[in-house]
Amino acid sequence: MRIRSSRASLLFNSSATSRLQLFHSCSRCQLTSQTSSRPLPTFTSPHISRRRQSSWAQAVAVASNVFSNATARAAGQGDISVDPLRMVAKEMKFLTGNIQQILGSGHPSLDTVAKYYTQAEGKHVRPLIVLLMSRASALAPKSPRYNGQQSTADIDSSISPMSILSDVNPNSPTTNPISASQTSYPTTDSDILPSQRRLAEITELIHTASLLHDDVIDHAVSRRGSPSANLEFGNKMAVLAGDFLLSRASVALARLRDAEVTELLATVIANLVEGEFMQLKNTARDEKNPVWTEDTVTYYLQKTYLKSASLISKSCRAAALLGGSDAATVDSAYSYGKNLGLAFQLVDDMLDYTISEKELGKPAGADLELGLATAPLLFAWKDNQELGALVGRKFAEEGDVARVSQVSKLKDES
Ligand code: FPP
Ligand code: MG
């Protein structure tokens, strides 16, 4: 969550007729675009897409190499190539369709808003990781509690009587997955269980719900290459759609009929909110003139875990549990997700400083502009105690952002 988005709120409060103007650029350089009047109906964000796609492609390439090298070494051979995207490509192909099925509502506006972010092209990193972890769990040692595979019917069939679940709901039962079991998984030759595929969908639903809420809180104007839901439909509908996604994710979760997995994913929702609350402050006590201590970094890492790593770590753990893995594998799956989530956010925070001013379209990183003290700044602050006052006032004074970004860059180059 971004706390201080003066630029975004400036734009958000502008009239509907000026909306097209907003989409000359991404949310990271919106100030520079608001004076322009050239309409650009199809919004593309060169900054976000270039930055995110290249780091994503690099991450996939590195993952492939690490895995290939390790496998080749273990097998005593060279040149075994593994593509993580291809390993779960068949399952990923059905992901968006199944999610849209889960989100179906007989209420037309709700249906549109709820599915809005699912229509955009996304990398779907979280479900991808859940599916890969699921495949890995098929090869892992089994726990004594494992009692074979679930059928697809289990995860779609209701627990309460249908008549109670649909009761006086005016929405058509045929489009409401609460009262009709419709999702199906065309058989693939993979060893991923239907419950694990459903888990991947639930993970993406929780993530998307959090984005719907986050964009309202941040007054975001764009998401996944299109106008944000709050801009397109208004704050009220965006928040309610997020709630609806959480509800449908909860129903799907209950139908997995696994209390431990339900407990894990329900905890994630609380973790996301807790992380957002922690981010409202840069330090635990939110003092005016904080002093750097080891606790500063601990606080940042805790916030980062809750906001950015809890979903993938607990989902990976849940994937291993559903796969019937033994306790050691379940713990490893959790640690893998936790470290991956933390690393992802650290790199994201670093990129906010290392992307050139020219490419970013403004003199310093967006996080600083929004008052956020992330890892590059925290490490620079350790050696430059005078930065404490700037952190305390969330870089609100003239020249603060330029000062911090200069000091952080010097630290980076040293
Ligand atoms: C993106 O952060 C936001 C998150 C990772 C989590 C947001 C969580 C909430 C709003 C709490 C409510 C949660 C639920 C499940 C309803 P960002 O603003 O740093 O990234 P961005 O640039 O993608 O917006
Ligand atoms: Mg945001």
125 pocket-lining for ligand 1 (C-beta < 6 Å): no
Cβ of 2 closer than 6 Å to ligand 1, yes or no, is yes
CA angle 229, 230, 234 (to 5 degrees): 115
The CA 139 to ligand 2 mean position distance, Å, reads 37
- Name the residue at shortest CA distance from atom 11 of ligand 1: 273
Contact between 256 and 159 (Cβ < 8 Å): no
pLDDT mean across residues, the chain: 81
The pLDDT, as a whole number, for residue 182 is 58
Q: What is the pLDDT of residues 152-202, one digit of tens each?
A: 668 988 999 988 888 877 665 555 565 555 566 766 667 999 999 999 999
* The predicted structure's pLDDT at residue 22: 33
Is 90 exceeded by the pLDDT of residue 319?
yes
318 in contact with ligand 1, CB cutoff 6 A? no
Residues with Cβ within 8 Å of 173's Cβ and at least 6 positions away in sequence, in order, are: 106, 166, 179, 180
Q: And the tokens for 236?
A: 């009220």
Angle at which helices 294-304 and 375-383 cross, to 10°? 180
Is pLDDT of 306 > 90?
A: yes
Ligand 1 in reach of 272 Cβ (< 6 A): yes
Torsion-angle region of 32 (φ positive above 0: left; ψ -120 to 50: alpha; else: beta): alpha
- 84-138 residue pLDDT tens: 889 999 999 999 999 999 999 989 999 999 999 999 888 899 999 999 999 999 9
Angle at alpha carbon of residue 130, lines to 126 and 136, rounded to 5°:
145
pLDDT in tens, 259-276: 999 999 999 999 999 999
Predicted local confidence at residue 149, as pLDDT: 62
Residues 6+ apart with CB under 8 A from 384: 407
Q: What is the whole-number distance in angstroms between the Cα of residue 173 and the centre of ligand 1?
A: 32
Using most ligand atoms within 8 A of CB, pick from 214, 243, 347 the residue to mutate for ligand 1. Answer: 214
The answer to whether residue 31 scores a pLDDT higher than 50 is no
pLDDT at 66 (0 to 100): 78
Taking domain 88-353, whether its CATH number is 2.40.50.430 is answered by no
What is the structure's pLDDT at 407?
78
**pLDDT-based confidence at residue 12 (cuts at 50, 70, 90):** very low
pLDDT of residue 264: 98
Return the structure tokens found at 405: 């970004």
The average pLDDT across 370-399 equals 93
- The pLDDT value recorded for residue 356 is 61
Q: Which ligand neighbours the alpha carbon of 52 most closely?
A: 1
Q: Whose CA is nearest to atom 20 of ligand 1?
A: 1
Residue 5 has pLDDT above 50, yes or no: no
